Structure 1
Amino acid sequence: MHSYDEPVYLISVVAKVLDIHPQTLRQYEKEGLIEPDRTEGKMRLYSERDVDRIKMILRLTRDLGVNLAGVDVVFQLKEQIEEYEKVVDELRSDIERLSQGTKVTKGSLVKRKSRFDLIFYDDKKDKK
């Protein structure tokens, strides 16, 4: 069995399974919505993850009437949400780790990330 990210499907197989024209897959790639791997002979190979992403594109375009530019925006927002969820999970882990065995002191806690800083500050501490 192959992994979810392993590129194993040719463009003709994916097109047939999803009942779309291979040119549609080429267009999705041209628009930057999918990035299939390539063999040394430059043949496109799609992974199960790619196929699921294509299914999502088809749902958005066919069922919801979203154009390809809108699909790109949806995917960008989805990626941002996933990044934010990771940050929240890391912060929860940090809070859990800090609160186990030690008393969490009030004050500031700065968590550095590549795009932004999250700063938690208890202003009651400065008023003493």
Structure 2
Amino acid sequence: MILTKMDFLERAHLDRQTLEVWIKEEWLIPTRAEHDLAFSEADLARAKLIRELTEDMGVNPEGVGIVLHLLDQVHGLRRAMAEVLKSIHQRSGSTRGVP
């Protein structure tokens, strides 16, 4: 589901200024729609995480950047591992019955 900027602000419980800071810091990277920004459900989940880090856990802005960078790396590694496993399964399936 794609959210408009206004919908995103409402659902994420954010004000415009905070959103602009988060985009500037590249904590959120929305896509560009015709006349505005467009946000995904993943962006909404990421905003929730940022709020939890800053408000509930007291993580400072530098720490938030580090946490998000590490999280992105973990997700990238998971995608890469899924591709490796898929390739292994495809190869093992195509070689079955071959001595």
Whose strand proportion is higher, 1 or 2? 1
Residue among 64, 78, 84 paired with 2:77: 84
Task: Supply the distance in 2 between the matched residues of 1:93 and 1:38 (Cα, whole angstroms).
Answer: 32
Which TM-score applies when normalising by structure 1? Answer: 0.58
What is the CA-CA distance between 1:17 and the residue it aligns to? 2.9
More displaced 10-residue stretch of structure 1: 70-79 or 88-97: 88-97
Paired-residue identity, % = 30
1:45 counterpart SS class: strand
Q: Which has the higher contact order (CA 8 A, sep 6+)?
A: 2
- Other-structure match for 2:24: 30
Amino acid at match of 1:80: Q
> Deviations for 1:40-72, whole angstroms, at most 9, x for unmatched residues?
33x333222221211111111111111222222
- Other-structure match for 1:14: 8
Task: Supply the distance in 2 between the matched residues of 1:86 and 1:62 (Cα, whole angstroms).
Answer: 30
Which TM-score applies when normalising by structure 2? Answer: 0.71
Task: Supply the distance in 1 between the matched residues of 2:98 and 2:54 (Cα, whole angstroms).
Answer: 52
Rg larger in structure: 1
More displaced 10-residue stretch of structure 1: 83-92 or 32-41: 83-92
Task: Supply the distance in 2 between the matched residues of 1:94 and 1:36 (Cα, whole angstroms).
Answer: 31
Question: 1:40 and 2:44 equivalent?
Answer: no
Task: Supply the distance in 1 between the matched residues of 2:86 and 2:17 (Cα, whole angstroms).
Answer: 46
Task: Supply the distance in 1 between the matched residues of 2:88 and 2:39 (Cα, whole angstroms).
Answer: 40
Measured on the aligned residues, the alpha-carbon RMSD in Å equals: 2.5
Task: Supply the distance in 2 between the matched residues of 1:14 and 1:94 (Cα, whole angstroms).
Answer: 37
Where does the alignment leave 5 or more consecutive residues of structure 2 unmatched?
none
Task: Supply the distance in 1 between the matched residues of 2:87 and 2:74 (Cα, whole angstroms).
Answer: 20
Whose helix proportion is higher, 1 or 2? 2
